Amino acid sequence: MDSLSDARGMDASRSLLAGAGQLAPPVRRIAPQAQPTVVEAPASGNGHTTTLGGLAPKLQRLPRADTTPLERMRTDRLSIAYGEKSAVNEVTLSVRQGEVLALIGPSGCGKTTLLRSLNRLVDLTPTAKRGGRILLDGEDVDSFDVTHLRRRVGMLFQQPNPFPMSIFDNVAYGLRERGSKKPSRRALEPAVTEALHRAGLFEEVKDNLEHPALALSGGQQQRLCIARSLAVEPEVLLLDEPCSALDPISTTTIEETIVGLRSEVAIVIVTHNLQQAQRVADHVAFMYLGDLIEYGEVEQVFNAPVAERTREYVSGTFG
Amino acid sequence: MSTHAQSSRQLGLYARLRGGDSWSIGDRLGVAAAWGAGLLLCLIAAAIVLYMLVRGIQYLRLDEIFSHPVAGTDQSKNGGFLDPLEGTLLLTVIGTAIAAPVGVGIAVWLTEYGRPAGLARAVESCIEIVAGTPSIVLAIFGLLVFQQGFFSFLSYEATPGVAFGRSFFTAGVVMSLIALPLIVGASREALHSIPRHVREASYALGKDRISTIRRVLLPASRRGIGTGVALGMGRIVGDTAIVVILLGASLQNDPEGSIPGLSLLQGTGSTLTTYVYNNSPVGEGGSPEKAYAAAFVLLLIVIGLNFAVDLITRGRGPSWTR
């Protein structure tokens, strides 16, 4: 673990010893009964904390984004079908900068399809048909040039997929060939360094920027993919089960990175891991058979779900 | 003696054949057949290489590689095989220069676009047909085509309106056809092995298909493409029929016209394969020593190409989880 997270851990134990959970500076993860800006202390005896495992407390203490949530994307009665088979039914959702939206639900519920429609990646499937509207900053995504849209809405995949080139070239990939003239390496360097910093990878690779990216470990590769997406400065970042192929330590690092990025980009994460949704999300949307069953703040969806289906899913009865 | 459990784990070949364990008779026969076939293949390969090595060392002299062949049956006076060696290299370069870009292009189109679907299917079948056609049939067909007056710029006009049809150009074009299926096949396989999400990652960064192909997919397929090209070169180096029919299999390279370089390409010549054929006991030259020496050089070239394939495919290419 890096020294930063250790420091955070110490900080937390001090406030615990003081028995002053409520007096700690505004922190995220809201206990059901507490005011919105106060986080439940890790060892307060609430059963739900223990389900989060050892990873949770550290993440819980990351400060909330300073900015007021700002709507970046919105789906408006969005429906997607593959041929005759409907995958998403009239879903209306809002994606805001300053918070993480988690899409959860059993396999085949349409959450990945919904995610992939936000950058129109679903358009690559010849049989896919889309109804309703998707708005980015109030404008219909179909009115954009698709390459322009995809630079504004970045995506991270389930499997780390760096390109077969150097670490530097991977991050610079999205920045090249934008205009008619080819930017020099020197011109790209600040942006590449910045993106690697934001993805929390710079310290590990700063001396090896010319090394092949595929020689990195899985977790590093995934953070490199985050850096690659961030380099083109997207407004929205879509994450499709980004940790499902990673070990627990890499997962923690990625989750910390995600939470840290929340104030700069709007983040949507599809996850099968409910603990992960609890750790990183501010809002949760539960989908089932293409329908949006429930949408709400993370504590509400997990602790006081309105719909019966949601209750069954978050309690592990099905899924 | 070891216990039953141990012996089944450390079962040697003899034990397997003897059936000391619970192997069925079918399995034992299968193992025996596999070992037999493998050993036989190794023996044949070793015999070829050793025989040619002995003969080659016996007859090959360095000056043969650097001297032109001369007509004559006296093996001490009929020169070397510089011209056939040049012919082999030149034809390989021409054939590869045509087949590599076209083959990679076809592979990219088939895997990345594949539309219109009907045409893609037709192209797949056509490649299989070309792959299965004996090279002598391709050669005869090539002669038919290139003897049309329209193609006289590739060879020369024999009589007004009729092209001669035989030249390094025309032979190279047909040679590219025999290398093409191998290059298409290897490139397609390499492109297929790249998971879909790698392409999508590039699209998700706002890249279009063509820059994804150029910057990600082709670099990731380098090994496969290289293997296909090397295998294709091996086929060109080894082909005889096309050389006999479309290159003339003349004793010396015979430039046509007066423009340096171009005249060589428009003219006729021979390769090591036809040189070996002509000088073998069944050929007209009747200089078996020269044939053995040239065959040895040919074998070295082919082994060199195989070695190149090994070098290309050794180690790991880019690997992603699907």
- HSE of B315 in the Cβ direction (CA atoms, 13 Å)? 7
For residue A197, what are the CA distances in angstroms to A228, A231, B184, B259? Answer: 11, 10, 42, 61
SS3 A286: strand
Work out the number of other CB atoms within 10 angstroms of the CB of residue B17: 14
Comparing A255-269, B153-167, B235-249, which segment has the lowest mean pLDDT?
Answer: B153-167
CA distance B125 to chain A (A): 24
Contacts of B206 in chain A (CB under 8 A): 147-151, 174, 232
Contacts of B191 in chain A (CB under 8 A): none
Most A CBs within 10 Å: which of B112, B203, B211, as the mutation test of the A interface? B203
DSSP states of A154-217 as a string?
EEE-SS----SSBHHHHHHGGGTTSSSSPPPHHHHHHHHHHHHHHTT-HHHHTT-TTSBGGGS-
Percent of chain B with pLDDT over 70: 93
Does residue A26 have a cis bond before it (omega within 30 degrees)?
no
| B198 at interface of A, judged by CB pairs closer than 8 A | yes
Which token pair is A195?
Answer: 């993106």
| A174 at interface of B, judged by CB pairs closer than 8 A | yes
pLDDT at B19: 57
Q: Is the pLDDT of residue B181 over 90?
A: yes
DSSP states of B137-197 as a string?
HHHHHHHHHHTBGGGTTTS-EEETTEE---SHHHHHHHHHHHHHHHHHHHHHHHHHTS-HH
CB contact under 8 A, A154 and B211: no
pLDDT at B11: 56
- Residue B112 and residue B118: Cα distance in Å, rounded? 15
Amino acid sitting at position B210:
I
pLDDT at B251: 82
Q: What is the largest CA-CA distance in chain B?
A: 88
pLDDT at A38: 37
| A250 at interface of B, judged by CB pairs closer than 8 A | no
CB contact under 8 A, B202 and A147: no
CB contact under 8 A, B204 and A119: yes
If one compares B41 and B20, the residue with the highest pLDDT of the two is B41
C-beta of residue A95 within 8 angstroms of C-beta of residue A294: no
CB contact under 8 A, A229 and B204: yes
Most B CBs within 10 Å: which of A122, A158, A163, A228, as the mutation test of the B interface? A163
C-beta of residue A71 within 8 angstroms of C-beta of residue A96: yes
Q: Is the pLDDT of residue B93 over 60?
A: yes
| A163 at interface of B, judged by CB pairs closer than 8 A | yes
Q: Which residues have a Cβ under 8 Å from the Cβ of A247 and sit 6 or more positions away?
A: A218, A219
Q: Is the pLDDT of residue B145 over 90?
A: yes
CB contact under 8 A, B204 and A121: yes
If one compares B39 and A9, the residue with the highest pLDDT of the two is B39
Q: Which residues have a Cβ under 8 Å from the Cβ of B141 and sit 6 or more positions away?
A: none
In this structure, what are the phi and psi dihedrals at residue A92, rounded to the nearest 5 degrees? -115, 120
| Regions of chain A with pLDDT less than 50 | 1-59, 61-63
- For B115, which residue in chain A has the nearest alpha carbon? A126
How would residue B282 be classed by pLDDT, with cut points 50, 70 and 90?
A: confident
- For B208, which residue in chain A has the nearest alpha carbon? A147
Contacts of A159 in chain B (CB under 8 A): 195, 197, 320-322
| B148 at interface of A, judged by CB pairs closer than 8 A | no
User: Nearest by CB to A177, which of B211, B317, B319?
Assistant: B211
pLDDT at B150: 86
pTM above 0.90, yes or no: no
| A154 at interface of B, judged by CB pairs closer than 8 A | yes
Which token pair is A250?
Answer: 């890499």
Q: Which residues have a Cβ under 8 Å from the Cβ of B290 and sit 6 or more positions away?
A: B59, B64, B75, B78, B80, B81, B275, B279
> Closest Cα to residue A196, out of A218, A169, A235, A214?
A169
Amino acid sitting at position B306:
N
SS3 for A8-58, per residue? HHHHHHHHHHCCCHHHCCCCCCECCCCCCCCECCCCCCCHHHHCCHHHHHH
Percent of chain B with pLDDT over 90: 58
Mean pLDDT of chain B: 88
Mean pLDDT calculated for residue range B8-14: 58
Mean pLDDT calculated for residue range B203-222: 93
CB contact under 8 A, B201 and A148: no
pLDDT at B12: 66
Q: Is the pLDDT of residue B116 over 80?
A: yes
CB contact under 8 A, A159 and B197: yes
CB contact under 8 A, A174 and B206: yes
Interface of B with A in 219-258 (CB under 8 A): 219-220
How would residue B14 be classed by pLDDT, with cut points 50, 70 and 90?
A: low
CA distance A43 to chain B (A): 39
User: Nearest by CB to A165, which of B211, B219, B319?
Assistant: B219
Q: What is the largest CA-CA distance in chain A?
A: 61
